[in-house]
Structure 1
Amino acid sequence: MVNCYDSEVEVQPHPQSLQDEEAVDLMLPEKFQHILRVMNTNIDGQLKIMYAITSIKGVGRRYANVVCKKADIDLNKRAGELTEDEVEKLVTVMSNPRQYKIPDWFLNRQKDVDDGKHSQLMSGALETKLREDLERLKRIRSHRGIRHYWGLRVRGQHTRTTGRRGRTVGVSRKK
């Protein structure tokens, strides 16, 4: 029986191994940020920038795509590779979409009830506005507001058998 450990075969490294200088671009850059803090939200630095900023509440994939294009940021870049200037540019485009000619129909708050303006709400402001909308509906005693107040389904679903909460009532058997 031949022992493979006793043989004196010299192992040559593969010419395109990761130890070569050509493969340095696969490694992370020196200033790579694994977590970014943008608009009071933690963003994963390893995701591509378009998908990374969708973790901000109020920013979807389509809006993120438009914002990255308006800010002249490469969509193939990872979020952790962005410089401070690029992050600031992203934030300014996201917070002032009409200034960068993003159309009104693209925004998530069109013709606001209070001031009639078009805007894109994100993170805390979005949650506050939604809460205010529900309070307004309850205050004016609209059908939707009353359903919210009672804790029932709002959008016309059937409630006879589904959506029951609380203790279950057992069925008594005949004897």
Structure 2
Amino acid sequence: MAVGGREEKKPAPRTGKPFEISAELKKREGKDFNGIVRLAGKDLEGHLEVRNALRKVKGIGHNLSQAIAIALKKEFAVDNEELVGNLTEDQLNKLETLMKDPVKHGVKSFMLNRQKDRETGEDKHLVGTDLAFSLRQEIELEKNTRTWRGWRHSIGQKVRGQHTRTTGRTGMSVGVLKKAAKAQKSAAATKAQDTAGKPAAKPVVKDNKK
């Protein structure tokens, strides 16, 4: 479709190709480069920059990854454009510590995912498996206390007030049930009409006279 005299370019479809390592990234590899880096329980591609690698960890988004990368550069002199595969074990440990407690390193508390924790009242940030475990625990607590959200969780329905008339159906589709019921009803009606239209069978009288 032409827009303003020019043809509109359609976005390229996502092909799910693996991470491509360019010649420029190859040149940036250090002496002790690691192709796969383990960070917060997740394997990361070593050719990713620190600020981009942080976003691969569950619980860290774009804004928080930028804030952590800035704090890492300020406190530990690690450039946020450095390849994560070039970091030493000590630098990776410092990065993981900063990820788990970013408030101590200057990150604002409104960026955390556990503000005013239910048990301690402190501002926390959970990542990786800790975040998944905490989420499961909170859902189980809602179910056990029989709150509205917990009840909705237990029956497998939406919990945030969404409409469920046309979406979120978990059982068999209503349209399928109606179609099957109509077919069964029409078959029964046809059978009844066929039975009513046939003349009554005359009784057979045997003649014993010969």
TM over 0.5: same fold?
Answer: yes
The alpha carbon displacement at 1:156 in A equals 1.5
SS of corresponding position for 1:151? coil
Name 1:158's counterpart in structure 2. 163
**Measured at CA, do residues 165 and 106 of structure 1 come closer, stay the same or move farther in structure 2, by a change above 3 Å?**
closer
Name 1:46's counterpart in structure 2. 47
CA distance in 1, matches of 2:66, 2:131: 20
Greater helix proportion: 2
Name 2:107's counterpart in structure 1. 102
The alpha carbon displacement at 1:116 in A equals 0.9
- State the Cα deviation string for residues 122-144 of structure 1 (Å, max 9, x = none): 11111111111111111221111
- State the Cα deviation string for residues 32-60 of structure 1 (Å, max 9, x = none): 11110112211111111111122211111
Name 1:30's counterpart in structure 2. 31
Q: In structure 1, list runs of 5 or more residues that go unmatched.
A: 1-22
- % same residue: 34
AA partner of residue 72 (structure 2): A
AA partner of residue 51 (structure 1): N
Are positions 1:71 and 2:72 aligned together?
yes
The alpha carbon displacement at 1:170 in A equals 5.1
Name 2:13's counterpart in structure 1. none
The structure 1 segments of at least 4 consecutive aligned residues displaced by more than 4 Å after TM superposition are none
CA distance in 2, matches of 1:101, 1:30: 32
Q: In structure 2, list runs of 5 or more residues that go unmatched.
A: 1-23, 191-210
CA distance in 2, matches of 1:55, 1:148: 28
For the aligned residues, what is the CA RMSD? Answer: 2.1
CA distance in 1, matches of 2:60, 2:167: 32
- State the Cα deviation string for residues 96-146 of structure 1 (Å, max 9, x = none): 222212221121100111221110101111111111111111122111111
Aligned residues: 152
